[in-house]
Structure 1
Amino acid sequence: MLIDSLSRAVTPNTLHKGKKLGEAQKNSTMANRSLKPFLSIIPVSIFSLLLFFAFRTSPYRPRIFPPNADLENPFPPPPRVAYFISGSDGDGPRMVRLLHAVYHPRNQYLLHLDCRTPQRQREELADSVNSVDAFLSAENVNVVGKADCVNSGGSTPIASLLHGAAVLLRHAKDWDWFVNLAASDYPLISQDDFLHVLSFVPKDFNFIQHTSNIGWKEYQRAIQIVVDPGLYLASKGTIFVGSRKRARPRAYRFFTGSPYVVLSRKLVEYSILGWDNLPRTLLLYFSNMKSSHHGYFQTLVCNSEGFRNTVVNSDLRFIAWDNPPGEEPRDLRLSDLNKMLRSGAAFAGSFRPNDPVLDTIDRVILHRGRDRIAPGGWCTGRHERGRDPCQLWGDVNILRPGPAANRFEKLLMKLMANTTFWSNLCKQR
């Protein structure tokens, strides 16, 4: 009915006018239709421009994805490691490269350049750390501002090491092991390999290479009295050697070994807090000993009832000596790479700065690009066309161990086998 009544109202005159009106409406409608796409483009264009300038003016931050609680992980939760990386004058670039090679968002890192280093280099090291988005986002890399004096022939190395451990205890509450590295060291496995294997190791275990067969070290270290001026002077000085000797200790048995250690958090807390008097007593004795960092933790752990059954006789490092051996291990070369890998060790040292063997380790083992973090399971970006996969983050609890994890696992299985473990436990001979 609506259509009929409308048709009856149409006359020839109104029909003519209706045609003109219809044409006008049609033209207006066509104009509106042609204008609508243009109007719809304007807000999209403005939004795109805003996004463009926002990304141009604001620094990039990696995107962090939370872990998926619905997925069951058949492996134990990965541990967290606190690294204390130390160096001296000119070692800043080496420390940054080492940091990139051992970095993982779960860990904590403290970098220390000793008092021989000009303050300008310390500030440059801090600037290098602050220029890496991953370090800033995870907030797990710090640089010691007030440097310690370190003389490898005295007692200042152990003082600096305990200082670093105390700082890490205060600023990071949730790490499981403490590892000290020098600027001349480098990893032989990725952090995914390292954390994956350690996740199956009891967290109270300590990896300390030790022996009670000290030989010549008794006369050159244990009973000789030295004074390290780094303990009381503002700058490094020559060690003072006393003319008299002291008796070999009888209250505890003296042990010696490697200055590089992997310590449980419990042992670090015991060393710093000292709920009995042994850590302080030993610290006073070792403060006048030559190269005290070669014996302090060895003597402490092997004379403590609560820790002597937790020590594994290894520092998890690969080193090589000259023939005849010198006072320090020789520098490692590319010709040593196969021996390094067969050892299953987690770390090696020492290396010359930017030695070609480091480039080979980066390329073959760590798959690390120049000036980039060694990728792990937490890196979800693409590898194609030279892209950095760690620009995008995934779940930091995801580990993707590779073939190097098998070598490291075999080493630990050998070290912790019943016959080997108990026979090497604070060996008294």
Structure 2
Amino acid sequence: MTTNLSVVQKKNKRKKLKPIRIKEVASNEFTLPDGSRIDTEHELLSFLLPENVKAFYRELSLSVEALCGSRYEHSEHRLYRWGKQAGSIVLGNQRVAVERPRVRDAETGKEVRIPFYEKMQNPDSYDRAAFQSALKKCSQRDYKNGVPELAASFGMSKSSVSRSWVRTTGKKLEEFMSRDFSSVDLVAVLLDGKRFQDVGCLIAMGIDSSGKKHILGAYQCNTEHSESCKSLLEDLERRGLPARDLLFVVDGGSGLNKALRDKYDVHRETRRAVVVRCHVHKWENVKASLKPEEQHEAKSLYWAVRDARDLTQAMACSEQLKAYLKRVNGSALTSYIEAEQELLNLHRLKLSGSLKKFFSSTNPIESLNSLLEEDMRRVKRWQDSTHFRRWIATMALKNEKRMRKVRGCLGMLALKVQIQNLCKPEKLDESTV
């Protein structure tokens, strides 16, 4: 017996596009997906390449006529034409040499700027084009092959594009490191170190009460040095990070641990923050001390601590793990005990299953790191610290837009309340007052 089977393919959901509204057309106001306004007059002249130079001179002539009146016409205008001069504008993502008219004021004798010419001379459009091409993996040497060349064009050399990239990424660095988070209701901060070639970097990712992720900063420092890590925390606090009632998920660097201990008093009853150690990093440390035949049993017991349903069960699993490690390897036991309480803090927070999995490691930053590494792999050598910081800031801002909310984000407000309960200041004993 034969049967006819049909395969139903799942349709991919198309991203909903923002429609162009009638009132926008009437007012000649259009916006890019990021919300920035499009200068339609400039964009039209820049991309209609066959006629754009003619259109530029036509509009320039009208602009001069508006200032001085018609040519050879007697008028009462204070402004008058004063010859021509070589200049340049930006058309079609490249600079073009042009001849521009000059205008003077009859009373002051000073030259007057022509608004239309200044708008077309604005280098921001050129910088933006070079910047977008670089983000699309177009090399600076090959940029000129990616745009249609015009007669008398210049400014597309490797050096010109490189200078444009430096200007644009410099602005991105300033924007990235000066963002104010005081208006963001931050609940948790994930901190993880990463090396890009020979440069160490500590990346901070914040999670707010709605579950949205924010890249708080990327700092060129080593997680083994407590002073640099403490400076990082102080900079975040200056930019709006709350001074208490926070959850920190860390990779376990000794310097970072000391900085958190000194600043937030995390291991005492008067603690101002809760620290959870990354379970993945700690397992790798424990595993490194074990023989291959010992790792299977230890792995089962170790992850049973994280997957326990509550703190009581987690502590029981932890005791079993310590008993096993004590029997097979004392170094592995010492490594585990060093982070035991910070691993158990995951259960003290009383998280849902989704949030428990999310906050049990710094994997969300590892995902970001892989994107940053892919974007920055073409740089073979960092010239200096500023060079590295410009790149890391630019790529962090680019990839931040791709990040989704935390799965289980509806439980973030409950997490915030539980953190506040764990960070309550120690009550004074009235008998000692």
Normalised by the length of structure 1, the TM-score is 0.28
The structure with the larger Rg is 1
Which has the larger strand fraction?
2
Which has the larger helix fraction?
2
Higher relative contact order (CA 8 A, sep 6+): 1
Normalised by the length of structure 2, the TM-score is 0.28
